[in-house]
């Protein structure tokens, strides 16, 4: 197990080095190849999705994230799986909303896919907080902070995208309760 962990760190560092040198095409090719060889390299999926997002290749980022979410469905219901799910859902929503923001009329333009991803992330994060209360108290503050961030983003979405002030206020209040 120790060896596999070290190998994973090395593989990830190679990808990051390619990105740092702005060799994005080689980085993408490298990440894609490594993920094909070992579907369990979830950190590489995250790095690849973030790289695609940085390059404004939102369709590719969503493809990587969809694949990651599908992979996680078969991995059980553990705390680590839930945490990864939240991370991927948040990144998915970011991709959806950032792509919309490239359009001149993005305000008050609904994106139900992004909103649903945020709602799912909030629900999962609530269950993560409950698990942390029972089993892992040292992670509780960190997870509550993320829950507050999710509620804030949902409130901002409701305010900017659908103009629902009461829903936005409710989400902002939830954000304050989580802090």
Q: 50-106: per-residue pLDDT in tens?
A: 999 999 999 999 999 999 999 999 898 899 999 999 999 999 999 999 999 888 887
Residue 120 within a domain: yes
* Same domain, residue pair 41 and 4: yes
Residue 177 pLDDT: 83
* Same domain, residue pair 94 and 139: yes
* Same domain, residue pair 89 and 169: yes
Domain ranges, residue 53: 1-57
Number of structural domains (the chain) is: 2
Residue 68 within a domain: no
* Same domain, residue pair 123 and 175: yes
* Same domain, residue pair 164 and 81: yes
* Same domain, residue pair 91 and 48: no
Residue 179 pLDDT: 66
How far apart are alpha carbons 50 and 62 in whole angstroms?
10
* Same domain, residue pair 81 and 36: no
* Same domain, residue pair 102 and 46: no
Q: For the residues 151-155, what does the mean pLDDT come to?
A: 94
Q: 157-164 contacts: CB < 8 A, separation 24 or more?
A: 157/97, 157/111, 157/114, 157/115, 157/118, 160/107, 160/108, 161/107, 161/108, 161/109, 161/110, 161/111, 161/115, 162/108, 162/110, 163/108
């Amino acid at each position: 197990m120790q060896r596999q962990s070290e190998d994973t760190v090395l593989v990830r560092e190679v990808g990051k080095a390619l990105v740092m040198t702005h060799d994005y095409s080689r980085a993408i090719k490298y990440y894609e190849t490594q993920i094909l060889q070992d579907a369990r390299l979830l950190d590489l999926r995250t790095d690849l999705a973030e790289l695609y997002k940085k390059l404004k290749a939102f369709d590719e980022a969503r493809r990587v994230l969809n694949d990651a979410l599908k992979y996680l469905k078969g991995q059980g219901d553990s705390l680590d799986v839930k945490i990864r799910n939240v991370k991927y859902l948040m990144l998915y929503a970011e991709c959806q909303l950032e792509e919309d923001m490239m359009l001149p009329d993005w305000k008050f333009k609904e994106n139900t896919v992004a909103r649903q991803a945020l709602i799912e992330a909030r629900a999962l994060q609530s269950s993560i907080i409950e698990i942390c209360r029972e089993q892992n108290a040292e992670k509780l503050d960190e997870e509550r902070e993320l829950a507050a961030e999710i509620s804030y983003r949902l409130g901002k979405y409701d305010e900017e995208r659908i103009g629902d002030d009461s829903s936005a206020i409710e989400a902002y209040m939830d954000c304050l309760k989580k802090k």
